[in-house]
């Protein structure tokens, strides 16, 4: 692996990236981090990937694929120079499935940045097959920027959901770092879930045995080290009784600049109800979403 790719900010470059904020956000993040920005484009055999990455028919030759990729990367480089002219920029192109390339780059990258498409109010299918592969398998944090966010909208900072377990440490560390770097307030939220409440879809406080004050105190104590490392962060800690993880998080997060979640937040309700909190938040959040890989069963997923 080229040493210039180590600990870089990587942004996936497709035709759609020029329609949203992902490229600009990635350039700004690389500038703030003092890191190299990698513009990555791939054209591979998956038909869905062709559509997402602006590639034509299956019979397109390698030369045509490379020409198209070079055009996109040159255009992206020009856009980055307008936003962050001092950021070192490198480009990567390969004739391979885009998800494969991005996942490979994630093994040494500091951060991956993706744009999203957005298709409908119920289930927007923001990412398509490429984005979902990256979110599920990347070895570094992935930030997904939604299209069409109103530039004049006032956001409320960074919101991170945590179960206050050892697996949450990389999620919290990323959230504190991001809030400090971008000068944003940070809200750390924890949801106390009662299994019966989740199953019936309504709070059942009687006999639930949830000590909210004790949970809040324990959570605040667990954040002491992060507070010391980032004294500049304006921090709010909240504990709520919840029913469904994704719905409760979106309700509390409101118009956050960015919501930070882990790839696996496996509380008891999560195991019973199944589904993916991170993917549901990606579909319905108003702002950006960061998905941070956590260690589960000895593996980084």
Domains of the chain in start order, with CATH, are: 3-145 (3.40.50.620), 158-300 (3.40.50.620)
pLDDT at residue 196, rounded to an integer: 55
H or E element at residue 160: strand 158-161
Query: Tokens 């949801």 label which residue?
Result: 191
pLDDT at residue 241, rounded to an integer: 76
CB contact at 8 A, 256 and 158: yes
Question: What average pLDDT does the chain have?
Answer: 77
- The pLDDT-based confidence of 6 (bands split at 50, 70, 90) is confident
| CA–CA dist 50, 185 (Å, integer) | 39
Task: Show the tokens assigned to 150.
Answer: 């109103």
| pLDDT tens profile 85-116 | 999 999 999 998 888 999 999 999 999 999 87
CB contact at 8 A, 238 and 252: yes
Q: What is the C-alpha R_g of the chain?
A: 20
pLDDT at residue 127, rounded to an integer: 55
Residue from 200, 211, 203, 204 nearest 272 by CA: 200
| pLDDT tens profile 184-200 | 999 998 887 655 555 55
H or E element at residue 191: strand 186-193
pLDDT at residue 238, rounded to an integer: 85
In total, the chain counts a number of residues equal to 301
CA atoms within 13 A on the CB side of 107: 8
> Which three-class secondary structure state does DSSP give residue 29?
helix
Beta partners for 186?
158, 235
Per-residue pLDDT for 265 more than 80? no
Per-residue pLDDT for 61 more than 90? no
Within 10 angstroms of residue 52's Cβ, the number of other Cβ atoms is 22
Evaluated on CA atoms 159, 165, 167, 169, the torsion sign reads: positive
- The pLDDT-based confidence of 19 (bands split at 50, 70, 90) is confident
- The pLDDT-based confidence of 121 (bands split at 50, 70, 90) is very low
CB contact at 8 A, 168 and 193: no
Q: pTM (2 decimals)?
A: 0.81
Sequence-distant (6+) residues with CB within 8 A of 231 are none
Sequence-distant (6+) residues with CB within 8 A of 67 are none
| pLDDT tens profile 206-233 | 444 446 777 777 788 889 899 999 999 9
- The pLDDT-based confidence of 1 (bands split at 50, 70, 90) is very low
pLDDT at residue 50, rounded to an integer: 45
pLDDT at residue 49, rounded to an integer: 45
pLDDT at residue 287, rounded to an integer: 76
């Amino acid at each position: 692996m080229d040493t210039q790719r180590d600990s870089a900010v990587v942004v996936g470059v497709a035709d759609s990236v020029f329609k949203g904020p992902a490229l600009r956000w990635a350039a700004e993040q690389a500038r703030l981090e003092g890191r190299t920005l990698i513009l990555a484009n791939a054209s591979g055999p998956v038909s869905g990937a062709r559509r997402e990455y602006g590639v034509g028919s299956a019979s397109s030759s390698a030369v045509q694929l490379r020409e198209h990729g070079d055009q996109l990367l040159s255009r992206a480089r020009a856009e980055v120079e307008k936003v962050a002219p001092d950021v070192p920029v490198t480009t990567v192109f390969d004739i391979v499935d885009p998800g494969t390339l991005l996942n490979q780059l994630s093994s040494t990258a500091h951060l991956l940045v993706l744009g999203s498409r957005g298709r409908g109010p119920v289930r927007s299918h923001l990412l398509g097959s490429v984005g979902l592969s990256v979110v599920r398998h990347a070895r570094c944090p992935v930030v997904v920027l939604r299209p069409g966010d109103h530039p004049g909208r006032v956001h409320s900072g960074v919101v991170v959901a945590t179960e206050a377990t050892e697996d949450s440490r990389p999620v919290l560390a990323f959230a504190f770092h991001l809030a400090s770097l971008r000068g944003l307030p940070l809200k750390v939220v924890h949801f106390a879930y009662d299994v019966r409440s989740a199953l019936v879809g309504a709070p059942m406080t009687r006999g639930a045995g949830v000590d909210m004050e004790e949970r809040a105190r324990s959570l605040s104590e667990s954040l002491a080290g992060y507070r010391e490392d980032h004294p500049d962060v304006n921090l709010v800690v909240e504990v709520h009784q919840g029913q469904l993880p994704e719905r409760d998080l979106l309700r509390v997060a409101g118009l956050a600049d960015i919501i930070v979640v882990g790839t696996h937040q496996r509380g008891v309700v999560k195991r019973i109800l199944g589904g993916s909190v991170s993917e549901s938040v990606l579909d319905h959040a108003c702002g950006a979403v960061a998905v941070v890989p956590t260690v589960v069963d000895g593996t980084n997923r």
